[in-house]
Amino acid sequence: MILPLSEFDIIARYFNREGLAARDDARFPLGIGDDCALIEVPDGCHLAVSMDVLGEDVHFPADAPADQVASKALAVNLSDLAAMGAEPAGFTLGLTLPRADEDWLAAFAEGLVPLSFRHDCPLIGGDITRGPLSVAIQVHGFVPRGKALARAGAQPGDLIFISGPLGAAGLGLELVTGRRRFEGHAPAVLGRLERAYYRPEPRVELGIRLRGLAVCAIDVSDGLLADLQHMARAAGVEMRLELNRIPVSPDCETVLGYNGALDYALSAGDDYELAFCAPEGKRKEIEALARELDLACCCIGVVAAGGGSVQCVDRDGRDVPAPKAAGYRHF
């Protein structure tokens, strides 16, 4: 008789293993296996903590490949550390599963490995229960005191930057959910759109290097307009967004044309590029940093005095209405 896997079998077989779980790591005197993990926070640093919960049919299709779900869940968490200028340390994992499917678990655990390895961010604990599929990850990172890149901080005269093109992940979601038909487009284009949705690149190195250059930052998860709005509100300023400077995803443009692609760049989420503000005097340094990190980072507007809003402007600086005023909201 084959007995179903217990919670402890699952942890031992898939999660508490070499290459994923913390081992002989000075940052973690205790990892998986005790009542708590212990974290050694370096002197002079804050512990930065963030959590994202991804639910079936809300954040990923029910039939999404397990490795993609895992990778995305870790990526969006690392992106929050990036947006804070924090260096990843470790993560915990809360899994709710309808059943203990070994193939799914093996693929899921495998999907965590590349980003965990690349960002030196091992698994240090978690929990597993039965229920509808949901993946909760909490990341822990370190940031020197006084250096964190909060959402507030922009001042009139600062420039607004974005770390790369936008829109592909939002269109990728339409592709993986089958909500839109994509006949006649090259498989390479569709492959890149799907990848943009499932495998966003958390801008961790950029976030760390922006300490002392940027005055505020946010990762674009809900759409550029919505996320700039958060920074504008936090600082009580107006963000003047020059529409013609927004880098739209070339693949999005291929499928939708420029205007359609611009809509996605403004309002679709899931790209996880960093939006940040910096004084004009830091522009050269930021451009050099972007070249060094091979990022298509660019200036998309300026900060003005105001009351916490985003205003779209044309190339002559004249106010124009936002093409769409969305941003993804769950409720």
Query: Can you give the binding site for ligand ADP, defined by CB under 6 A?
Result: 11, 15, 32-35, 93, 95, 123, 125-128
**Which of ligand ADP, Mg ion, none does residue 237 bind (CB under 5 to 8 Å by kind)?**
none
Closest residue to Mg ion: CB criterion: 127
User: What is the rounded CA–CA span in Å between residue 59 and residue 270?
Assistant: 10
- Residue 10 Cβ vs Mg ion, minimum distance, rounded to whole Å: 12
- Residue 246 Cβ vs ligand ADP, minimum distance, rounded to whole Å: 39
Residue 11 or 168 with smaller CB distance to Mg ion: 11
Residue 126 or 269 with smaller CB distance to Mg ion: 126
**Which of ligand ADP, Mg ion, none does residue 215 bind (CB under 5 to 8 Å by kind)?**
none
**Which of Mg ion, ligand ADP, none does residue 128 bind (CB under 5 to 8 Å by kind)?**
ligand ADP
- Residue 136 Cβ vs ligand ADP, minimum distance, rounded to whole Å: 10
Tell me how crowded residue 100 is: count the other CB atoms within 10 A of its CB: 16
CB 276 within 8 A of CB 217: yes
Q: Pinpoint the alpha helices (H) of 210-318.
A: 224-235, 250-267, 283-292
Q: Which residues bind Mg ion (CB under 5 A)?
A: 127
**Which of Mg ion, ligand ADP, none does residue 189 bind (CB under 5 to 8 Å by kind)?**
none
Query: For residue 88, what are the CA distances in angstroms to 135, 139, 177, 214?
Result: 19, 7, 31, 19
Residue 128 or 210 with smaller CB distance to ligand ADP: 128
- Residue 27 Cβ vs Mg ion, minimum distance, rounded to whole Å: 22
Residue 127 or 292 with smaller CB distance to Mg ion: 127
Q: Given the structure tokens 């930057």, which residue do they identify?
A: 161
Q: Which residues contact 26 (CB under 8 A, 6 or more apart)?
A: 40
**Which of ligand ADP, Mg ion, none does residue 95 bind (CB under 5 to 8 Å by kind)?**
ligand ADP
Residue 57 or 127 with smaller CB distance to Mg ion: 127
Residue 127 or 280 with smaller CB distance to Mg ion: 127
CB 64 within 8 A of CB 55: no
CB 87 within 8 A of CB 81: yes
**Which of Mg ion, ligand ADP, none does residue 102 bind (CB under 5 to 8 Å by kind)?**
none
Q: Which residues contact 322 (CB under 8 A, 6 or more apart)?
A: 225, 266, 310, 312
- The dihedral built from the CA positions of residue 224, 225, 231 and 237, taken in this order, carries a sign that is positive
User: What is the rounded CA–CA span in Å between residue 251 and residue 193?
Assistant: 7
Among candidates 119, 125, 163, 118, which has minimal Cα distance to 142? 119
- Residue 242 Cβ vs ligand ADP, minimum distance, rounded to whole Å: 45
Residue 102 or 127 with smaller CB distance to Mg ion: 127
- Residue 95 Cβ vs Mg ion, minimum distance, rounded to whole Å: 11
- Residue 175 Cβ vs ligand ADP, minimum distance, rounded to whole Å: 30
